[in-house]
Structure 1
Amino acid sequence: MNDQQLSGKWVGAYSYGADYGEPVKGKTVAFEMEITVVNGIIMGECTDGEATAHFKQPAIIEGSVNDQYISFIKCYPHYWQHEMEGPRFLPKLPSQQINYSGTFVNDRFEGEWEIVTTVMDAQGEAVAYKGVGSWFMKKK
């Protein structure tokens, strides 16, 4: 696919992996992404059925595509994370980076996503939590 074919609106969904607790584990969330691709570099915006109600702006997409392989980072306007008590939104903290990677198969991109959140524990030690899941998207 060339840059022109890749640019435009894409629709898809992401799913939370087994590391997430109930009721998030396995949950699937629809999204729409508008991207522009120039010389394999991706820039764009993403809205999804879970986060859009909490943010006034869409998430930002930046990445690259090379042949059948795509890789991009999604950043929401500020921090939010699924925790045991439910979603936690902290407008004063920056968004974590959600790393997406995948390949073009059967007229769609599909792959995995990963997010790493680092926090300080009561002893002042950094503790990292990793969440993973799957995703797909197809040209609208």
Structure 2
Amino acid sequence: MNDNQYCGKWVGEYTYGDEYDEPVKGKRVTFELDITIVNGLIKGECTDAEATDHFQQPATIEGSLLDNTISFVKRYPHYWQHEKDGQRFLPKLPSQEICYSGQFVNDRFEGEWEIVTKLADAHGDFVSFRGFGQWFMKKEVGSKM
């Protein structure tokens, strides 16, 4: 397949991994991804059911597609994170980078995502959290493949 066949709207779902606390652990979130691919380089925008209510603009996507392997980084308009007491939004901080990787199998992309969050605590010491999960996406019905 050529780059042009992968361009367009994709719909999918990501799932939070076991290192997250309840009720986030195992939670499934639907998303839409609109991508353009030129010479294997991906650019696009992503909206998801969880973040749409909190941001005025979609997340950005940048990455690459080589053969049937996709990898991209998703960045929201600013920082947000799930915590034990709920979601935490810090509009003055940049978004974390959520790294997606996967394979094109059976007419869909599927793989894993990872996010690494590093923040300074009240004492100025850096703490870090790594989150993982699964994801998949299929070309939207009606889009040519």
Q: 1: distance between equivalents of 2:59 and 2:120? A: 26
Q: Indicate the residue corresponding to 1:109 in structure 2.
A: 109
Q: 2: distance between equivalents of 1:39 and 1:86? A: 41
Q: Deviations over 1:90-137 (max 9, x none)?
A: 111110000000001111000000000001234432221000000000
Q: Indicate the residue corresponding to 1:138 in structure 2.
A: 138
4+ runs deviating over 6 angstroms: none
Q: Indicate the residue corresponding to 1:118 in structure 2.
A: 118
- 1:6 equivalenced with 2:11 (yes/no): no
Q: Indicate the residue corresponding to 1:18 in structure 2.
A: 18
Residue 5 of structure 1 aligns to which amino acid in structure 2? Q
Paired positions, count: 140
| Structure 2 residue matching 1:5: 3-state secondary structure | helix
| Structure 2 residue matching 1:53: 3-state secondary structure | coil
Q: Indicate the residue corresponding to 2:66 in structure 1.
A: 66
Give the TM-score taking structure 1 as reference length.
0.97
RMSD over aligned CA atoms reads 0.8
Q: Indicate the residue corresponding to 2:100 in structure 1.
A: 100
Q: 1: distance between equivalents of 2:67 and 2:105? A: 12
- 1:42 equivalenced with 2:42 (yes/no): yes
Q: 2: distance between equivalents of 1:121 and 1:82? A: 16
Report percent identity of matched pairs.
69
Q: 1: distance between equivalents of 2:122 and 2:7? A: 46
Give the TM-score taking structure 2 as reference length.
0.94
Residue 131 of structure 2 aligns to which amino acid in structure 1? G
- 1:30 equivalenced with 2:30 (yes/no): yes
Q: 2: distance between equivalents of 1:58 and 1:38? A: 21
| Structure 2 residue matching 1:54: 3-state secondary structure | coil
Residue 64 of structure 2 aligns to which amino acid in structure 1? S
Structure 1: runs of 5 or more not aligned: none
Deviation at 1:89, TM superposition (A): 1.0
Structure 2: runs of 5 or more not aligned: 141-145
